[in-house]
Chain A
Amino acid sequence: MTETPKPADQPPAEPAKPNEPAIDRAEKTIETPPVPGAENLPAQPGTTPEPVQRGERTGMFGAHDTGDTTGYGGLRSPILYPGAAVRPYGGDFDAIADALEAATDQGQIARTVIDRGEITFVIPREHLPAVVRALRDDPALRFELCLSVSGVHFPSDIGNELHVVYHLMSITNGHRRIRLEVTAPDADPHIPSVVGTYPAADWHERETWDMFGVVFDGHPALTRILMPDDWPGHPQRKDYPLGGIPVEYKGGTVPPPDQRRSYS
């Protein structure tokens, strides 16, 4: 349950590293003198992405609800998510990041993560409207389509429990795709709405509110969309049970899926 880098939505906390102008970091990587046999040496700090820890896994087999008889119960391994990427990003990503940094103010992009061939910009929530406006309108960016908005609930990411991800595509600039990630704490689940820029986000934000309880400030009609209007709770949150009734078959009883032994 530890959190290595600073949460993304505390803007004044970290003005330093991730907001350095793009050129500086690019130069830094070029500057390193070509030492013979450098590939055998450990990577220099700041040249490789450092993973973000969100939670910890114990034991070897993933079962939590039974006594451990394997002898591996003391094993503890961190759950590491990809961390902030380091320049150069490679491929189109440098061009996208340069254009976005040019189109936005300092500090509007908290972190850039590159993982599995996809680029993710982590945006402090108060800057989201300005950033999406720049993403849509800047000629070098032109992300016309906001394809999807959805939430992910990370109870182990203390202070940033609710993540909202936006998938954008630019059809003008060669069908590029990017992802935006915005976080909010459970105690204050407010994120500005992007409906003003992308009307397509309307129902997607309503679904995210319905399923995760994220309040999109400025949404024209933030009501439930999939669940009944008077439904209590937000079903896709991790603290919301799946529910179900035990199944009885030939005298034996199978508990509902969320109460069965799990190996995750």
Chain B
Amino acid sequence: MTTPHSASGSTVYTAADPDEVRHIDDLDEQADLYAAPGEPSEGRVFNAVGGDWNDIVGEVGSRPEERIVVNMGPQHPSTHGVLRLILEIEGETVTEARAGIGYLHTGIEKNMEFRTWTQGVTFCTRMDYLMPIFTETAYCLAVEKLLGITDQIPARASAIRVLMMELNRIGSHLVCLGTGGMELGATTVMTIGFRERERILNIFEMVSGLRMNNAYVRPGGVAQDLPAGAIQAVRDIIPELRQGIRELELLMLENPILKGRLVGIGYLDLTGCMALGITGPMLRSAGYPLDLRKATPYCGYEKYEFDVPTRTGADAYDRLWLRVKEMWESLKIVEQVVAELQDNPGPVMVEDKKIAWPAQLSVGPDGMGNSPAHIAEIMGTSMESLIHHFKLVTEGFRVPPGQAYAAVESPKGELGCHAVSDGGTRPYRAHFREPSFNNLQAVAALCEGAQLADVIVAVASIDPVMGGVDR
């Protein structure tokens, strides 16, 4: 085996046999030091351990036929999780860029086929961990379509879904801006973003018992009604969020350093977006106001007043700008929903008890669980209830055979769920059209021809979350 070490500005390889000590220039054209004996050579290896970088660059430049392929990731602080970017570079310019994914593949879709329809929520909420409520809602809308109960969902349940989704949208955008800023070296952006998101997570914890992976939206409605004081808590954080978002806005939008890094970077026009199936802020930054909340309203979005901001620059800066504005629009919706929820008590689950059961839950000191009243009934009062409870928990409810597709406007674009049933108690197939997965295809279009440093900005402007990409 050879061990490289640095000596007097050039790289020297020490072999086990001292006679084999050679300078790098003496090496064979095709020498691949890392190939095992007998293995085909992958080409010449340039070792960047120690020495002067210019020497290495100069050496490479003397061989124009050589290509430099750099693996950025999968463990790199600025690739948004375990994303591997395979970049071919020429000096500082990226000539080719490809994304390698799959490092976070957890087989969630396959796992869902072995659990009941209700348990599916617990799995899919873990896909894109920054927007769990959206994935749950898309799944539940698809299951409800399969069950044919879309019209029976109580208005209050839909309103709570909207409330949670819009808060989640703000949280997701805050992380996008925060981590995006951190990747540029602006840690204050990150601290503000995460500080503000914490307020939203506190609400989530109060409502669902969990900060993330909530499994709060269930087929037929939501797991339980808002606890006492939740509406007031939301009302209390709205001015705080306003202040925080305003702070971010002031810090970022007209910041000359940030604009210098973002304006004109990661350009993808409307034609490119259409060809690559791009939706969400990326498409709206190219000037097209496609927003499913307006285009094909679901969960009662048609009741709320909000705008769909657009820009025409189609670059990373415009996407950032749009995300900030979308947070303001989400706050507008939150205010309207809170007023609606305050005045309209009512059920939060469909009437059909077979579908509604596992959602008779409450938040206890140790998280969400069966409500004490329900336990008292099945254990102390009614044998029939116990039998039904047992069968519905172990077996679940049946869903008529067929397929359905439901889509919601997530912070990253269209999030769709294609659910197929064979008439059983488990999803026959549940596939998620993840916006992160689809939009990451644009990496090549955004990065090729740009500087290496712009790759970070361009990828951050897609806002991919690998949990969603790899599922």
Contact = CB atoms under 8 A, between A and B. Distances in A.
Which of the listed residues A61, A144, A203 has the most CB atoms from chain B within 10 Å of its own CB? A203
A175 B275 CA distance: 16
Contact of B395 (A61, A80, A175): A61
Contacts of A225: 101-102
B470 interface: yes
Interface stretch (A87-95, A98-106, A194-202): A194-202
Contacts of A177: 405
Contact of A118 (B113, B404, B424, B426): B404
B470 A226 contact: yes
Given A165-B418, A175-B295, A148 B102 contact: no
Nearest to B398: A62
Contacts of A228: 102
B295 to A, nearest CB: 4
A199 B275 contact: yes
Interface in A208-264: 224-228, 235-236, 242, 257-258, 262-264
B438 A200 contact: yes
B211 interface: no
B290 interface: yes
B188 interface: no
A201 B438 CA distance: 9
Contacts of A226: 101-102, 105, 470-471
A175 B396 contact: no
Interface string B35-75: 00000000000000000000000000000000000000000
A25 interface: no
A43 B441 CA distance: 50
Contacts of B371: none
B416 interface: yes
Contacts of B114: 242, 257-258, 262
A107 B16 CA distance: 72
B295 A57 contact: no
Interface stretch (B18-26, B257-265, B321-329, B427-435): B427-435
Interface string B266-285: 00000000111111000000
A137 interface: no
Contacts, number: 123
A147 B276 contact: no
B402 A81 contact: yes
Contacts of B249: none
Contacts of A171: 288, 290, 295
A200 B275 contact: yes
A145 B395 contact: no
A59 interface: no
B276 A115 contact: no
A258 B110 CA distance: 11
Contacts of B414: 147
Contacts of A150: 418, 431, 433
B88 interface: no
B423 A167 contact: no
Contacts of A145: 274, 277, 279
A102 B145 CA distance: 31
A116 B424 contact: no
Nearest to B115: A257
A257 B277 contact: no
B394 interface: yes
A235 B113 CA distance: 12
Nearest to A199: B275
B84 to A, nearest CB: 12
Interface string B67-105: 000000000000000000000000000000000011001
Contacts of A141: none
A152 interface: yes
Given A61-B395, A227-B105, A263 B425 contact: yes
A190 interface: no
B148 A116 contact: yes
A200 B441 CA distance: 8
Interface residues of B, number: 51
Contact of B401 (A80, A203, A227, A263): A80
A62 B402 contact: no
Nearest to B442: A200
B441 A203 contact: yes
User: Which among A147, A175, A198, A235 has the highest number of chain B CB atoms within 10 Å?
Assistant: A147
Contacts of A61: 395
A132 interface: no
A111 interface: no
B286 to A, nearest CB: 13
B205 interface: no
B360 interface: no
Contacts of B395: 61-62, 263
Given A80-B401, A263-B425, A242 B111 contact: yes
Interface in A28-58: 54-55, 57
Contacts of A118: 403-405
Given A152-B428, A263-B396, A116 B418 contact: no
A177 B396 CA distance: 31
A5 to B, nearest CB: 15
Nearest to B102: A226
Given A179-B405, A226-B105, A227-B102, A202 B425 contact: no
Nearest to A236: B110
A80 B113 CA distance: 19
A57 B428 CA distance: 14
B438 A203 contact: yes
Interface string A74-90: 00000111100000000
Contact of A147 (B115, B146, B433): B433
Given A55-B422, A148-B438, 15 more contacts: A54-B401, A80-B401, A116-B402, A118-B404, A147-B279, A147-B438, A148-B405, A148-B431, A150-B433, A167-B433, A203-B437, A203-B438, A235-B107, A257-B114, A264-B426
Give the 10 A-B residue pairs with the shortest CB-CB distance, closest first: A200-B277, A264-B424, A148-B433, A263-B395, A150-B431, A226-B102, A226-B105, A257-B114, A175-B295, A264-B426
Interface of B: 101-102, 105, 107, 109-111, 113-115, 145-146, 148, 274-279, 288, 290, 295-296, 394-396, 401-405, 407, 414, 416, 418, 420, 422-426, 428-429, 431, 433, 437-438, 440-441, 470-471
13 contacts: A61-B395, A62-B424, A82-B402, A115-B403, A118-B403, A147-B279, A148-B418, A167-B416, A167-B418, A200-B276, A227-B102, A257-B114, A263-B425
